[in-house]
Amino acid sequence: MTEKEKMLELLDEFKNSIVKLMDERETLDSEVEELRTSKREAEEKAWAAEEQITELTNKHVKAENARDKAKADLAAVKEEASGLSAKAAEAEAGKSEAQEALQRERDELRREMDEINEQLGRVSELYREASAEKEAMAEKVDISDLLAIYITLIETLFYGKPHARILYTLHDVKTAITRKNIQSSTGIQPAAVLKAVHDLVAADLVSYDEDSQEVMLTKDVLRRS
C-alpha cells in the first residue's frame, strides 16, 4: 500500500471518527435538553406541590383557629347558660321567699285584724252596756265624757297600736285626713303610720289616695248605735 493510500485511509477513519463524535454530541445535547426539560417539569411540580402544601397548611391553620374559636364560643355559651341557670334558681328562690314573706305578712295582718275586731267587739259591748245603764238610771250622761271613756278603753285595749289610733281618729273627724295630719295628731312615727294605713287599706277598712295622701274611713268598725 502506498503512502497516499495510507493517508487516504487515515483520513477516512478520521472523518468517520468526527462524524461519530458529532452524532454522539447531538445525542448528548438531546439528552441534556431532555434532562433540562425534566428538571423544569420536576421543579414546576415541586413548586406546585409546595404551593399546595402552603395552601393546605393555611387551611389547616384556619381550621385550627376556627376550632379553637368554636371551643371558646362553646365554653362561653356554657358559662352563660350556667350563669342564667344560677340566676333563674336565685330568682325562683327569691320569688319563693317573697311569697312566703307576703303570706306571713298577710297571716299577721289577719291575726291583728281578728284581734282588733275582737277588741272592738268588747268595746262596743261596753258602750252598749254604758248606754243601757244610762237609760236605766234615767241620768243624762255627757257624750263627751262617754267618748273620753271610749277613747281610754280603745287606747288601753290596743296598747297604743297605730291601727286603732288611726281608726279612732278617722271615726272622730268623719272625713278624709292627710297622712301628715294623722302623724301630727297621733304622734305616731311616719313609717308606722304609712304601714298601718296600708294594712287598713288591705283590710278594706280605709281608702288611701297616693297622690293627695288622704286617708278616709270606709267601714264603721265601732258599730256605734
pLDDT at 152 exceeding the cut of 70: no
The answer to whether residue 63 is domain-embedded is no
Place of cell 254604758: 130
The model's pTM is: 0.33
Residue 105 structural domain: 93-217
**Model pLDDT, residue 216:** 92
Determine contact, residues 217/171, Cβ cutoff 8 Å. Answer: yes
The answer to whether residue 100 is domain-embedded is yes
CA gap 167, 196 in Å, rounded: 10
Nine-digit cell string for 103: 303570706
* 149/97: higher pLDDT: 97
The answer to whether residue 136 is domain-embedded is yes
Give the range among 14-18, 129-133, 144-148, 200-204 with minimum mean pLDDT. 144-148
pLDDT band for position 220 (50/70/90)? confident
The answer to whether residue 196 is domain-embedded is yes
Residue (of 143, 167, 153, 163) closest to 221 by Cα position: 167
Number of domains comprising the chain: 1
Amino acid at 40: R
**Model pLDDT, residue 133:** 60
**Model pLDDT, residue 115:** 73
Segment 79-92, tens digit of pLDDT: 888 888 888 888 88
Place of cell 497516499: 4
The answer to whether residue 14 is domain-embedded is no
CATH number at residue 207: 1.10.10.10
**Looking at residues 203-213, what average pLDDT do you find?**
91
The answer to whether residue 25 is domain-embedded is no
**Model pLDDT, residue 26:** 86
Determine contact, residues 170/217, Cβ cutoff 8 Å. Answer: yes
**Model pLDDT, residue 82:** 87
Place of cell 308606722: 192
Please give the mean pLDDT across all residues of the chain. 80
The answer to whether residue 9 is domain-embedded is no
Give the range among 17-31, 55-69, 153-167, 200-214 with minimum mean pLDDT. 153-167
Determine contact, residues 154/123, Cβ cutoff 8 Å. Answer: yes
The answer to whether residue 32 is domain-embedded is no
